[in-house]
Structures are given as C-alpha cells and as structure tokens.
Structure 1
Amino acid sequence: MIQVQVHDTTLSVRFPSWTRLFVKAGQVSVPLAAIADVHHLDRPLAAAKGLRSGLVVSGHTKLGTWTSFSGVKQLVGAHRGVPGLRIVLKYRVAGFDELILSVQDAEEILRQLTAVRR
C-alpha cells in the first residue's frame, strides 16, 4: 500500500517495493509550497487519463506515469476500492504536474494538507 505522510514542509509518498518498477521511484517528496490544490477521489482509477507508461490491470490497478493530451503528467498509484487523492501542483516536481494516489486514509491526509496550506 502507498504510504503518504505530511511533514512540516514536504509531502512524502513512499511506494511498495513491487510497484517501483512501474512508477520508477521508491519515494517522491513534494514541497508543500508547490501544492496548488487537493481533491478527494472516490474512484481514483478514473482520474488517470492519457498516454501511459506503467501497469494497467483493467478495472483494478493503474501504476506509472500518465500524460494527458494537453501535456499534464500524472504520477499514478491507483487501486479499485481504495479512496484517493488528486494532488495538483503549481509547477512540475520530480517531473510531475499531478499525483493520483489511492490511500486508505485519504480523508485524513486531505484534512492535514488543507490545514497546512492555510
């Protein structure tokens, strides 16, 4: 399961070892100042659209990089039945404009990020 932690100045995303081949990272750190917006997603699988480099298990899992036709690059770690977050960035961080992540504690992370960004 993807682990997301909110620290004083950064958002840390850690991927399980088996997913690292597809997302091409073990961990991604995003400065909190770079976060433009955060949205709760009931169905994070549907949020990843465009050309992909990664793994798709139809209707179950999406892992990797998705690039929309408008050029937005998404880092995706989404699983069916697990709530998620869309984290929109002000500028590219680690090569991405957005993160689409399935996390069990999505509501709590959303609350933390909202509190920190105020």
Structure 2
Amino acid sequence: MSATSTEVTNASGFKKGSLGKQIGLTVITFGLYAVYWWYDTHQQFAAATNTDLDPTMQTVLFLIPPLNLYAMWKFSNEAEAVTDQSGTVLFVLFLVFGPAAWYLIQTGINDVAQG
C-alpha cells in the first residue's frame, strides 16, 4: 500500500468499459488499444480519485522500458482504490500476466461506475 492512499472522490469520473470489446480492440490493433486504455484509465483516475499522477506522463513512462516498471508500480498502487487487491499483487500480475491485472482494474472501475 502506498504512503498516501488513493481514494475515490468522485465516482462519476469513472466510466464503465466492456472487457470483451477491450480484448477485441487490443487484438485487432495489435496491442495499440492497450496503450489507449492505459491513458484513458489514468484520465479516469485523475478525474475520480485524489491521485496526483499525470495521465500523459504515465503513458509516456509506460512506453519506455525500464521506466514502464515504475509506471506499472505507481498505477498498481493507485488502483487499490477500485479493487480489493493490494498494489503489490496488481504489480506482480502486470509482470506475470498483464490481462489479469487489466481485468481486476477494469472490473473495479465498472463496479464503482455502476454504483
């Protein structure tokens, strides 16, 4: 858990996303949709939580190895606000099987957006 815990401050800042559509778009675009999802999700977190992460900077970091590890670590800790998993678990999932972390985060966003 991060030193300053991220909390949902405005649930209407999150929008529900279809996991099936996201998987399909990721396959069709040869993975480019995943970068868009990363940016869009960070925008949602900026609007709906007390996070101080900049969506554009996090996306740039995500594209540059090994800085992407830092970006994944920060995002994993921010995502604790919408999931019932710790940031460490989400980070390990990003490293071992990224789609599992994506699923947990998007499902958490959908739950918060639904109310």
Do both proteins adopt the same fold according to a TM-score greater than 0.5, normalized to the shorter chain?
A: no
Higher helix proportion (structure 1 or 2): 2
Question: What TM-score results when the alignment is normalised by the length of structure 2?
Answer: 0.31
Question: What TM-score results when the alignment is normalised by the length of structure 1?
Answer: 0.30
Select the structure with the greater relative contact order (CA < 8 A; seq sep ≥ 6). Answer: 2
